[in-house]
Structure 1
Amino acid sequence: MKLTDAVSYGDDDNPSLTLVIMAAGLGSRFGGDKQLAELGPKGETMLQLSIASAIKAGFSAAVIVTRSELIPSLEARLADLPGGFALQFCVQQMTDLPESCRETVQGDKLAELTNARRKPWGTAHALWSARKLVAGPMAVINADDYYGDQAFALLAQGFQQRPDKWQMVAYPLKETLSDHGGVNRGICVTQDNLLISVEEWLNIAWQGDNLVGSHLGRQGQLSPEAMASMTCWGFTPDILDLLGDALADFVAQPGQAPNSECYLPAVVQAALSAEANAKQVFVSQTLDTWLGVTYPQDIDWVKQKLMELLGD
């Protein structure tokens, strides 16, 4: 299987749908590459299960944003995809930044910041890295999560019904936690099925009877019924220019901390709050099970759940 250039199928009434999979993470808490973990009933990775769900929903292409050393293993695992489905790879590189960064960060400072990085620039940068390979509506997910068939069907239906709107599929927060440590989630507020706000909360975990997490450096309490963004988005291509602008601002300020990340929900929130041309994001809540592995201790439980859901 070879890498391909950007492709576009479909027509104006039924545009081609591309699945962008963010698979460049280092898995620091997991202790390895979650992208390659064999968790499905037949040894499938989460990435393979998501692509299978996307194909059922009518998606015609996938772009995998990853690290160069993972591409051979991913290619081998995805060698049996249907012939009409276009697979593309994109390497997320530290030095691949908007040209405007050279205006906001002067002289050799940009190279110094890049060399000091201990991890990629974040999920906003991961999606921006795929800008040359996506020409139409796109769904955006994590490689190491299981979303269920309904999430992709909802996104596909949403693009047919509301082709100019961004989308998100949400899950109840209480169903997305780990018994083995804190997790990071985008917490959402909605009105009339439209997203009002999404904020990145860190290290969410139960403390006794209270569900607590950290937002902007301050600890707070969360409702177990809150709607959580599990990085299951639907975007039109205009997100890419906004990502470039956000990255330029990020690199000039918070990005100067080596462990800081430019989060995709932060870019969405800025687009929602824009004084001019504010975006609308339609929110669907799925009843399907979401599963993910944050810690090694999650593996056995996730395997058991996937066997119950997908096993013969």
Structure 2
Amino acid sequence: MNKPTLLILAAGIGSRYGGNKQIDGFGPTGETIIEYSIFDAIRAGFGKVVFIVREEILETVKEIFLPKLEGKIEVGFVIQSLASEVPAEYFRPDRKKPFGTGHAVLCAKDHIDGPFAVINADDFYGKEAFQELGVFLQEKVDPELHCMVGYALKDVLSENGTVSRGICETDVENRLIGMTERTAISREGEHIYSREEEEPFEIDPDTPVSMNCWGFHPSFFEEAERMWKAFLPLHQDNLKSEFYIPTIANTLIEEGKGNIIILPGGKTWFGVTYPQDRPVVEAALSQLHQQGEYPADLWAL
């Protein structure tokens, strides 16, 4: 049985945070959020981790993680650049904005040959998420069956500003029907609203949302590449266009080429969007150590 791979999206710029939050230390002894995800993934049976990074932080990421992970899990690195997977006729040297999460995953297609999970570098997902992903990815072999760990909207907001979330619609079998990206989401009293339009849109607090915690059969790469080739000629003049994982997921569902099961592992989440989120994350990680969820030194063994 192939051990799944953990693909970590760590190429983001972190404009609202104001720095490289992927490699900032938040744990009691300076642990990055990524380290907790890798620790939980190893416990859940993952056998390899692949980092998607920008070229300018590649060496720093290697310096941080390679000594800690040596002998514990296979490690790979992939650079996501504005030229990655872009044929010459579609390359725009004046583009500044990255192409997004779907493009990031596609950059790793030559480095993964089995089932894999995808996560953000700056989100803490909780051990239950990786346990569910580990079981699913090691037991399900249907090339048209994928998964996503769902989180309740009320549990994934920031007290320091608005957020964007993928709002999920599901059927009675807990399969994803479709996902809508909602922006400018915040809690207002006992209600949650998205104020991306003039009229506020209220969202049920228990609505499942995507926190970019996915599990895919390797067939995902072929489908994503097909959609990417269709995306480029349509958007080459839009320098802010992005190719998202939810776009790929929605298209797979609409075309009848894939089913995505919503897994129940979304128990604990916290993340870093704004600088003010930092003390909240530090306190949460400290508490988890005190409760015995994590050892004092993650990599002592």
| Percentage of pairs with the same residue | 35
* Partner in structure 1 of residue 159 of structure 2: 179
* Aligned residues: CA RMSD: 2.0
Q: Distance in 2 between matches of 1:245 and 1:207?
A: 41
Q: Which amino acid aligns with 1:24?
A: A
Q: Distance in 1 between matches of 2:61 and 2:158?
A: 26
**Equivalences for 1:1-312 in 2 at 5 Å?**
14-78=1-65, 79-97=67-85, 99=87, 110-111=90-91, 114-164=92-142, 165-191=145-171, 192-213=173-194, 220-254=201-235, 256-274=237-255, 277-286=256-265, 288-311=267-290
Q: What are the ranges of 5 or more consecutive residues in structure 2 without an aligned counterpart?
A: 291-295, 297-301
* Partner in structure 2 of residue 11 of structure 1: none
Query: Shift of residue 249 of structure 1?
Result: 2.7
Change (3 A) 1:245 1:287: closer
Q: Deviations 1:131-185 (Å, cap 9, x if unpaired)?
A: 1100000000001110111111101111233222201111111111111111111
Structure 1 runs, 4 residues or longer, greater than 4 Å off: 214-219
Q: Distance in 2 between matches of 1:152 and 1:280?
A: 20
8 Å contact kept, 2:149–2:266:
no
Q: Distance in 2 between matches of 1:70 and 1:281?
A: 33
**Structure 1 stretch 26-35 or stretch 89-98: which is displaced more?**
89-98
Change (3 A) 1:255 1:124: farther
Query: Shift of residue 73 of structure 1?
Result: 1.8
Query: Shift of residue 210 of structure 1?
Result: 3.6
8 Å contact kept, 2:130–2:265:
no
**Structure 1 stretch 249-258 or stretch 226-235: which is displaced more?**
249-258
Q: What are the ranges of 5 or more consecutive residues in structure 1 without an aligned counterpart?
A: 1-13
Query: Shift of residue 98 of structure 1?
Result: 5.1
Q: Distance in 2 between matches of 1:161 and 1:98?
A: 34
Q: Distance in 2 between matches of 1:256 and 1:32?
A: 29
Change (3 A) 1:135 1:216: farther
Equivalent position SS for 1:65: strand
8 Å contact kept, 2:152–2:206:
yes
Change (3 A) 1:29 1:251: same
**Structure 1 stretch 297-306 or stretch 281-290: which is displaced more?**
281-290
Query: Shift of residue 80 of structure 1?
Result: 1.9
8 Å contact kept, 1:168–1:232:
yes
* Partner in structure 1 of residue 293 of structure 2: none
Q: Deviations 1:101-131 (Å, cap 9, x if unpaired)?
A: x6xxxx5xx23xx323222100000000001
Q: Distance in 1 between matches of 2:70 and 2:44?
A: 14
Query: Shift of residue 83 of structure 1?
Result: 1.1
Q: Distance in 2 between matches of 1:50 and 1:266?
A: 25
